[in-house]
């Protein structure tokens, strides 16, 4: 470390130079903060800014890493532009395509099986931590037919770019998932994106400093091949413009959201998901083709979801007939309580299954509806 202030930003990616001279290595640190407050820190040693010599398949090559003062514009993460130049003797130049192809493959392997999550920071999108392991779509259990309907719709949209283009329509689709907390809205969107090899760009409209113009800019400059997720959209306009004690203003207005959704059409595909716990608080003007094309209720646990979640959790721990009996018993309890207007979220059911091994899960079922 050369004692200078780290370059970087609040995403947690910092680069410290080991040495100001050439051939220096840099240590790149990235951290990912979890919701429970814990953090993972990763280090990697990379060639620092300057000139480096290395051997590749018997040939000497020179790598020059230069950093410009300008920052990368648009949906990337505010890092400076860099140029990497590789030089070798003319007799070894056939190795360039080999080296680039190997680099491409290594990159693809590292990203495979993982999805990148971007979050909105100011007016740019930033990668949120290292790529995440993809969640299996079948691990999110929605009520019968719901997941299949959404999946079918989105796949059909993905095959219709030509159709939209020929009719001069903006190539966009909007989905609204509404329902109580802990029903799997966010988990499903994340798993669906992963299953279709898309990344996720998450934005919360009520986050500090979010204003109409920022929202518009972020939507227009969303990262490529990503689902955009606007969380808790109702929370935003209930507050209107707020000024906190430090004079900081934030607030997205309803007309600001409509403008951003309708914004200047680009040829790029846009797949937008919105979630809310309160459908009744949304203005019907939102539900219009191009803004929200498909709205689905993602509700508290149904008896069928309860059964499936149970079987997924305890699969293989008893013989099938015994598991079926236990699953049905819990599902029946959920059904009886629903009849009395008492519902339970999938998140709460999951919590119960995590707390109890198969031996105690049925006898402690009373805890589900205290």
Ligand X SMILES: Nc1ncnc2c1ncn2[C@@H]1O[C@H](COP(=O)(O)OP(=O)(O)OP(=O)(O)O)[C@@H](O)[C@H]1O
In the complex with ligand X, the residue whose CB is nearer, 88 or 277, is 277
In the complex, minimum distance from the CB of residue 370 to ligand X, in angstroms, rounded to a whole number: 19
Tokens of 133: 């392991």
In the complex with ligand X, the residue whose CB is nearer, 141 or 327, is 141
- Helix (H, G, I), strand (E, B), or coil: what is residue 197? coil
Task: Provide CB contacts within 8 A for 204, sequence distance 6+.
Answer: 120, 210, 230, 231, 232, 235
In the complex with ligand X, the residue whose CB is nearer, 259 or 304, is 304
In the complex with ligand X, the residue whose CB is nearer, 61 or 142, is 142
In the complex, minimum distance from the CB of residue 184 to ligand X, in angstroms, rounded to a whole number: 3
Each as own residue / partner, the long-range contacts of residues 284-291 (CB below 8 Å, 24 or more positions apart, any chain) are 285/258, 286/176, 286/233, 286/257, 286/258, 286/261, 287/176, 290/169, 290/170, 290/172, 290/174, 290/261, 290/262, 291/174, 291/258, 291/261, 291/262
* R_g (Cα) of the chain, nearest Å: 25
In the complex with ligand X, the residue whose CB is nearer, 95 or 200, is 200
Whether 345 and 181 have beta carbons less than 8 Å apart is answered as yes
In the complex, minimum distance from the CB of residue 351 to ligand X, in angstroms, rounded to a whole number: 8
Cα atoms in the 13 Å half-sphere on the side-chain side of 86: 16
Tell which residue, 358, 308, 345, has the closest CA to residue 368: 345
* Inter-CA distances, 313 with 184, 308, 327, Å: 16, 9, 10
* Residue 272: φ, ψ to 5°: -120, 130
Tell which residue, 5, 105, 22, 30, has the closest CA to residue 62: 22
Q: How far apart are CA 206 and CA 154, in angstroms?
A: 27
In the complex, minimum distance from the CB of residue 260 to ligand X, in angstroms, rounded to a whole number: 21
Distance of CA 149 to the CA centre of its chain: 21
Q: Estimate the share of the chain in helix, then strand, then coil, as percent rounded to the nearest 5.
A: 35, 30, 35
In the complex with ligand X, the residue whose CB is nearer, 17 or 350, is 350
In the complex with ligand X, the residue whose CB is nearer, 185 or 214, is 185
In the complex, minimum distance from the CB of residue 296 to ligand X, in angstroms, rounded to a whole number: 12
In the complex, minimum distance from the CB of residue 176 to ligand X, in angstroms, rounded to a whole number: 12
- Which residue number has the CB closest to ligand X? 184
Task: Provide CB contacts within 8 A for 326, sequence distance 6+.
Answer: 310, 314, 318, 358, 361, 362
In the complex, minimum distance from the CB of residue 342 to ligand X, in angstroms, rounded to a whole number: 18
Residues that bind ligand X (CB under 6 A): 140-142, 181-187, 277, 309, 346-347, 350
In the complex, minimum distance from the CB of residue 327 to ligand X, in angstroms, rounded to a whole number: 15
In the complex, minimum distance from the CB of residue 171 to ligand X, in angstroms, rounded to a whole number: 27
| Residue carrying structure tokens 């920052």 | 71
In the complex with ligand X, the residue whose CB is nearer, 61 or 292, is 292
In the complex with ligand X, the residue whose CB is nearer, 260 or 301, is 301
């Amino acid at each position: 470390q050369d004692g200078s202030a780290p370059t970087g930003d609040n995403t947690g990616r910092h680069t410290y130079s080991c040495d100001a001279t050439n051939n220096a290595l840099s240590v790149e640190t990235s951290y990912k903060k979890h919701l429970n407050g814990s953090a993972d820190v990763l280090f990697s040693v990379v060639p620092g800014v300057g000139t480096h010599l290395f051997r590749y398949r018997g040939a000497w090559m020179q790598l020059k890493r230069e950093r410009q003062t300008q920052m990368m514009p648009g949906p990337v993460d505010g890092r400076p532009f860099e140029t990497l130049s590789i030089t070798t003797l003319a007799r070894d130049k056939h190795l360039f395509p080999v080296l680039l192809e190997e680099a491409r493959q290594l990159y693809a392997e590292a990203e495979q099986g993982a999805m990148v999550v971007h979050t909105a920071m100011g007016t740019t999108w930033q990668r949120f931590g290292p790529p995440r392991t993809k969640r299996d779509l079948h691990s999110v259990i929605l009520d019968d037919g719901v997941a299949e309907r959404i999946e079918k719709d989105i796949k059909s949209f993905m095959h219709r770019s030509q159709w939209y283009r020929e009719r001069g329509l903006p190539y966009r689709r909007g989905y609204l998932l509404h329902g109580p907390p802990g029903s799997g809205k966010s988990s499903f969107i994340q798993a669906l994106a992963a299953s279709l090899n898309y990344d996720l760009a998450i934005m919360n409209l009520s986050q500090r400093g979010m204003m109409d113009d920022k929202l518009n800019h972020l939507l227009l400059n969303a990262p490529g091949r990503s689902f955009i997720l606007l969380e808790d959209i109702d929370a935003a306009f209930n507050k209107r413009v707020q000024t906190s004690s430090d004079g900081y203003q934030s607030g997205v207005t309803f007309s600001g959201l409509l403008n951003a959704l309708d914004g200047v059409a680009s040829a790029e595909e846009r797949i937008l998901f919105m979630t809310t716990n309160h459908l009744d608080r949304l203005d019907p003007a939102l539900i219009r083709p191009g803004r929200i094309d498909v709205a689905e209720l993602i509700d508290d646990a149904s008896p069928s979801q309860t059964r499936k979640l149970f079987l997924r959790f305890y699969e293989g721990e008893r013989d099938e007939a015994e598991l079926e009996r236990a699953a049905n018993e819990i599902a029946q309890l959920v059904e009886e309580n629903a009849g009395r207007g008492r519902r339970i979220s999938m998140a709460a059911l999951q919590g119960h299954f995590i707390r109890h091994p198969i031996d105690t899960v049925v006898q402690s079922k009373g805890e589900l509806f205290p």
